[in-house]
Structure 1
Amino acid sequence: MNKKVWGSVAGVVVLLGLATAGLNQHQATHFNRNVTINGVKVGGLTAKQAFNKVQQSSSSQDVYFDGQQIYAGHSVKVGLTNADQSKFKQALAKQKTLIPTSKAQNFAIQGTNFDTSQLAAMQDAVQQAVATYNQGKSASVDAHAELVNGRIKVIKSVQGTALDEQAMLKQFNNRRFNPTIKLTKQVQTPVKADSQTIKTQKQHLEALNKRHVVLKIQDHEVKLGAKDLVTKATYLHGTYQIDTEKAQQAVAKLNHQYATLGKALKFKTHSGQEITLNNQGTYGWALSAHKLKPALQAAFAKDSSKVINAKDYIYGIGYNENGTGYNNTTNNGIGNTYVEVSKAAQHVWWYRDGKVVFEADVVTGTEQGDNATPTGVYYTLYKQRGATLRGLNDDGSKYSSPVAYWVPFTQQGHGFHDASWRGDWSKTAYLAGGSHGCVNMKVGDAGTAFASMDEGEPVVIY
């Protein structure tokens, strides 16, 4: 290429550079064509020129919605002072583009001395207008993702006809310094099924579906996943909403497998015979779905790695509502320290760590009538020295019997105690002449028996 051509190209480049620099300078110092400030056209003006123009304007504070006046205000000046010029420079910088644009933009600039005394009443008028318009209108419904029984689905949005109050108030705030405030309908726009919001929801639900929590039940660690606990879940506004109806079923299954409360437990008697006890006793523990479900839900939502200890969420019945025998993992949940009562043998064995530490003949409740000693697995409620037992005899008369040792195992008044008044200690005494339901002990045996029992200890009666 010869020197003449190179010179021409260089000249064009210089001219383009100068033009670009000039355009950039103009764009940096002048508002774009369709920009307004407080409803006043400032296109083509500098920040100073725009300030001077807007400073001369006033606002009627009249508010119109959909062509109808909804608030009649009294005119006020915009209240601009020299201190507000920086706000115009900020607006200029915010609307700046590399090349001129015809995009319409309005900037709301509040003057330092602007009279805001009508603002609250104007906002109330807007809200009232929206409420009136929305009567009989249908609200838009956002699309949302759901995790249902392990599968994620998206519920589509529904476009309504009601106005979006927040959008209307935002429009009002953008125009409240205009000479006349004219508002247009801002209908509620629902979140669409293909929006980023829904994609985010699905991502969080997918993560939730892969989570699990660990529940420690005695010596066992049970891993529970979404399929075990979550019936339905959503992720809205940055928070999980989890329906844990399934957790109720999970707790029921865990109780069936591990709990002892209300179960017909198998038991090996002193003679080595294995029997099945009835399930009428009060001994045992079970997981409380009422207590455990919120803990599982919270741990699941937080993706907590912390192991949940089931012991904190058990319950029992009777005197101790917190459950009994949770730490007993041997002998089908009864453990190795317990009291064995054989009504047929009219004999009791006290066990400590699997060994008999004491045994004695006793007399239980009269089998005839309503005084029979209940069978099943119970637990000692407490121990008391020097008590007076009171109740009614079969003929309706009252009795009051002082005893040296008293260890109840039901809240209905059944327990172990010495019976100094008893004369018949035969093996058949209980058939027609037994106690009112308690386990009568001889005076010489009661003290040792008392010392051989602890509070909360299982009492097996058969």
Structure 2
Amino acid sequence: MKKTFIISLVTLVILGVAYSAGIGFYAEKFQANTTFGTVDISNLSLPEAQAKIEDELNAESITVKENGQVLGTFTVGDLNGQINTEDVLTSTYNSQNPTEWLGGYFSSVEYDNVLMNSLQIDDADLSAVLSEVGLNNTDREAATDAYIDYQDGRGYFVQDATNGNQLDLEEVKDLIVTGLQDGVGEIEINQAYLEPEVTADSEDIQSLMNRIDELTSTKLTLNIAGNEVTIPQEKIEEWLYFDGNNNPVFDQNLIYEYLGTLNEQYATYMSYRTFNSTLQGQVTVDPGTLGWSISRDEESAQIAADLLAGEDITRDPIIAGTGYNSSGDDIGSTYVEVDLTNQMMYYYRDGALMLETPIVSGMGNNHAVPTPTIAGAYSIWNKERDATLVGVNQQRGNDYEQPVSYWLPFDDTGQGIHDANWQSSFGGDIYQYAGSQGCINTPPGVMAQLFEMVEVGTPVIVF
């Protein structure tokens, strides 16, 4: 019994000494079965582990494939990668309990997924190495973002994004590091293509398309002289564009052009007119100052504002000129008619003849220096009592100042209707030798009546 006790005690002493020696050894070493990624750092000191990890990682080869085809091979060392393991190894080292060293022989400690923050690869170095195996991004097709486009006849639509084969260097780095961690020496770079940043279902694209639909579906109707003209949706789409901040803008130059086509169709300014005269029946009247057109500058701005508001609207356009009404007939049934051929003037109110008189118009073409009345459609733009007419007598070549009791100017060259007490008679062919400088000379008594009857804006039709 005594011998057995002595042997057991010796054994315990030996085991205790060995255990204590293990504690001393592993106080400066990584415990058994410790790996850093694929590198075994068991029983190594901190500097030894760092050196081994760096040496083995730099020697690791990486084979690059694209769609299964091998393009080339390089090592981590070729990448000039910075392997920064000191912090994580020191932390790991300090976290070990040397008194538990024996357990390391019965279990393993693996530090996986730590290379991601420990291995740093520079973009320029990676690009240079990839170029050596034929992977230069400048020679590869870039992905394109989805965008909104416009085509005549189609309107606005979303052009889908397209995939390219340019490489995302950050993704390539991740593939390299993941392969090193997992012990896989091959990477398939078709997993690292740069993707479009904007796709057809991106929120910005969809939001913008919804805004376009809202703006282009606006119903804007112009009531032009009794004609309802709804601006076509394709026109609205054609006018719409977006500035650098994606704010909608309507091109007022294009709107201006469109309004020109409406003026050609509906406006009366500078238009020839068919007129039912008292003595000659239907005649053609030259253009004059009478007439209206859509004010293109003002109306272009108003249409752009209406469309941006995005609300359906029906309204009259902004009109420039005279004689505008809902019927489209700017002469109407109240007007002054001057028949130069017959040297007669008539005044109609609401279609009823209120006054007629012979007149003397501008000096006829039979005279050596004619000053004929310029035919056209005009309107009275002023009424003045006791006016003085001034000008140059073209026949005598002298200035004149002629007082009149009643003055009704109707054009922008000085023509008008006035009394002429110097004329001994009116009508017939008097205008051929005693005509005016272009005005309509009227018997004084009749002129007084006409002056009281007519209003500013009354059409004057001269033919």
Question: TM-score, with normalisation over the residues of structure 2?
Answer: 0.56
Q: Which amino acid aligns with 2:319?
A: I
Structure 2: runs of 5+ lacking an equivalent? 1-113, 117-143, 165-194
- What is the DSSP-based 3-state SS (H/G/I as helix, E as strand, rest coil) of the residue aligned with 1:432? helix
Which stretch of the first structure deviates more once superposed, 288-297 or 424-433? 424-433
Q: List structure 1 segments (4+ residues) > 6 angstroms apart after TM superposition.
A: 155-159
The percentage of aligned residue pairs carrying the same residue is 29
Residue among 151, 156, 160 paired with 1:152: 156
Q: How big is each residue's C-alpha offset from its partner over 1:93-112, in whole Å with a ceiling of 9 and x where there is no partner?
A: xxxxxxxxx9x9xxxxxxxx
Distance 1:204 1:261, change over 3 A: same
Partners of 2:214 and 2:310 within 8 A in 1: no
- Per the alignment, residue 271 of structure 2 pairs with 263
- 1:423 aligns with 424
1:198 alignment partner, SS class: helix
3-state DSSP class of the match of 1:400? Answer: strand
Q: Structure 1: any 5+ residue segments left out of the alignment? A: 1-101, 105-140, 160-188, 316-322
Where do 1:98-137 residues align within 5 Å?
A: none
SS in 1 for 2:359: strand
Q: Is the 8 Å Cα contact of residues 417 and 439 (structure 1) preserved in structure 2? A: yes
Deviations 1:436-456 (A, max 9, x none): 100001112110111121101
Check conservation: 2:378, 2:460, Cα contact below 8 A: yes
For residues 215-254 of structure 1, what are the structure 2 equivalents within 5 Å?
215-235=222-242, 237=245, 239-254=247-262
Deviation at 1:245, TM superposition (A): 4.5
In the alignment, does 2:323 pair up with 1:325?
yes
In the alignment of these two chains, the number of paired residues is 286
Which of 170, 192, 197 is matched with 2:198 structurally? 192
In structure 2, do the counterparts of structure 1 residues 364 and 356 end up closer, same or farther at CA, with 3 Å as the change threshold?
same
Work out the CA distance in 1 between the residues paired with 2:355 and 2:239: 56
Partner secondary structure for residue 400 of structure 2? strand
The residue that corresponds to 1:390 in the other structure is: 390
Q: Which structure would you say has the larger Rg?
A: 2
State the superposition RMSD in angstroms: 3.0
> Partner residue of 1:450?
451
Please give the per-residue CA displacement for 1:338-395, whole angstroms capped at 9, x wherever unaligned.
1000001100000111111111110000123351111010111100010111111122
- The answer on whether the counterparts of 1:231 and 1:245 sit within 8 Å (CA) in structure 2 is no
8 Å CA contact 1:145–1:235 kept in 2: the answer is no
| Superposed displacement of residue 148, structure 1 | 4.1
Quote the Cα distance in structure 1 between the aligned partners of 2:331 and 2:196: 60
Using the alignment, how far apart are the partners of 1:409 and 1:430 within structure 2? 20
Cα deviation, 1:89-128, whole Å, max 9, x if unaligned, reads xxxxxxxxxxxxx9x9xxxxxxxxxxxxxxxxxxxxxxxx
Alpha-carbon distance in 2 for matches of 1:429, 1:389:
21
Q: Distance in 1 between matches of 2:253 and 2:233?
A: 12
One-letter identity of the residue aligned with 1:260: T
CA distance in 1, matches of 2:304, 2:316: 14
CA distance in 2, matches of 1:426, 1:216: 44
Distance change in 2, residues 1:363/1:328 (3 Å): farther
Q: What is residue 348 of structure 1 aligned with on the other side?
A: 345
The one-letter code matched in structure 2 to 1:257 is Q
1:314 aligns with 2:319: yes
- Tell me if structure 2 keeps the 8 A contact 1:387–1:402: yes
In 2, Cα distance between equivalents of 1:442 and 1:191: 85
Q: Does 1:436 align with 2:441?
A: no
